[in-house]
Amino acid sequence: MSKILDDFLNINLNELKEKGLYNEIDILEGGNGPEINIAGRTYINLSSNNYLGLSTDERLVKADKDATSKYGVGAGAVRTINGTMEIHRELEERIAKFKGTESAIAFQSGFNCNMGAISAVMTKNDAILSDELNHASIIDGCRLSGAKIIVVKHQDMEDLRKKAMEAKDSGLYKKIMYISDGVFSMDGDVANITEIAKICNELDLISYIDDAHGSGVMGNGAGTVKHFNEEDNIDFQMGTLSKAVGVVGGYVAGSKNLIDWLKVRARPFLFSTSLTPGSAAACLESIKIMEESTDLHDKLWENGNYLKKELKDLGFDIGKSETPITPVIIGEENLTQKFSKRLFEEGVYAKSIVFPTVPLNKGRVRNMPTASHTREMLDEAIRVYKLVGKELEII
């Protein structure tokens, strides 16, 4: 290794560790369910995005196996050559129906969606209004497009209107987009889709909602846009197939013209091999389960509301979450890491989230109860939270 690289790595890794910003990666021994096994010990798992518990569901496992037997383990090519199989077409048709749009396109990940879809439509001649707490993949997708990025105060519709009008009145931009998460993953608050749609329609802004944490959770599963009945008024509905859906991949749903354009201009779609057939089949099965019953959705919300109430009653700061996402906001990074470590030692896996995922001095433990957690699991986690919270004088 070159000396200059070695020096750079040593200095910066040590600095991250000193500031409590270095993240240790744990290895799971088995599946990612309501309980997980690490180094021979079982933990109550409150850090997964497997909202509905479907990633280990036997119905999805069977669908994956059957499709793999029929099509093989890989698609063998990019979608535009001969990597599009019947199963991919079926998945996209099902997503469009589920999301209430004319068409849909599936990508290899949610990150790829934002990298590909934003830059396929927006250019250096355009401007993007972006909520200040948007996900990193949105930020990177905006940067890749070359468009002027105008940061909008979080969930501030007056600031959105003001900055949108300034951008339009400047005459500098051919197109202007507003982009926001549907559910903000670190705080659990929900975008004001109705007001967003209203402002975008009034000012002729392109509207883009990243519903990675809303799909399967909001709108009886169909997402945040569906929750507000604004399917006809939001141009891009983007989401993942890896969280509530439980598999891997991402999608964009919208008009037929939009999806046709993304199929010829979105670079991750053009230059990366398709979703595996097994993954596509498992995604289809997951959406089918969500369409047929809201039982898992309802259980998720029941567990989320229970955990939030109990932690709040203990005196923890859970922010302003409107969804099952339950942050426990600690603040200082080293204390946040210590709190998470003590929970771990007591048998609760709830990872610390610190800068750059959240702002400095806004460190937190992000708890994600799922549809698979039992009341007994949640009660044990609450007991441990009380123990550790008092020990570290957080409550």
Query: In the numeric block, which tokens belong to residue 343?
Result: 């929970």
Q: Is 213 one of the catalytic residues?
A: yes
Catalytic residue among 88, 226, 243, 351: 243
Catalytic residue among 99, 135, 213, 297: 213
- 23 φ, ψ (degrees, to nearest 5): -100, 120
For β-strands 236-240 and 127-131, DSSP reports them as unpaired
Q: Look at the alpha carbons of 253, 257, 258, 262 in this order and tell me if their dihedral is positive or negative.
A: positive
For β-strands 250-254 and 103-107, DSSP reports them as antiparallel
> Could you give the CA distance from residue 138 to residue 123 in angstroms, rounded to a whole number?
15
Catalytic residue among 185, 207, 340, 352: 185
Q: Is 185 one of the catalytic residues?
A: yes
Give the catalytic positions in this structure.
Answer: 185, 213, 243
